[in-house]
Structure 1
Amino acid sequence: MEKNTAEQIMAKALAAVEELTAALAIAREQTSTDELAKLSKGIGLAIGAIEMHVNVPLYHRFPELEK
């Protein structure tokens, strides 16, 4: 993989995390405590998966991309 490709993938991964974070903000305003707990867990797991399975491998290959 070329560095440019890794940069593009990381940008999309970051955008996905931002969207998930925004979804959680909506949930905080419009759901019950029970629903929020379930959504928070799912969103947290999704963000963690993006970090561990997308970003970390790219950081290992291209350490200069880690900010």
Structure 2
Amino acid sequence: MTYNFMRPRDMLKMSYTQTITIKDENMTIIIIHFLWIALSWLAASFQAYLDLDSLLKSLFAQTKQAL
């Protein structure tokens, strides 16, 4: 099995457009990663809100029954 790693001299041979394309691909990966983190955070926050809401409703129901 052979691996094709880019050597520094090959990187110097790359054209400007190839460099821009690689930077665009890296930025796309970074943006997707950031969006995934934001979506995960949003889902966790929403789940915490639902848990707190159900906890408060059950405590309110227990308090109401006690009175």
Structure ID, larger Rg: 2
Structure with more relative contact order (C-alpha pairs < 8 Å, separation 6 or more): 1
In terms of fraction of residues, the more helix-rich structure is 1
Band of TM-score, shorter chain? 0.3 to 0.5
The TM-score, its normalising length taken from structure 2, stands at 0.44
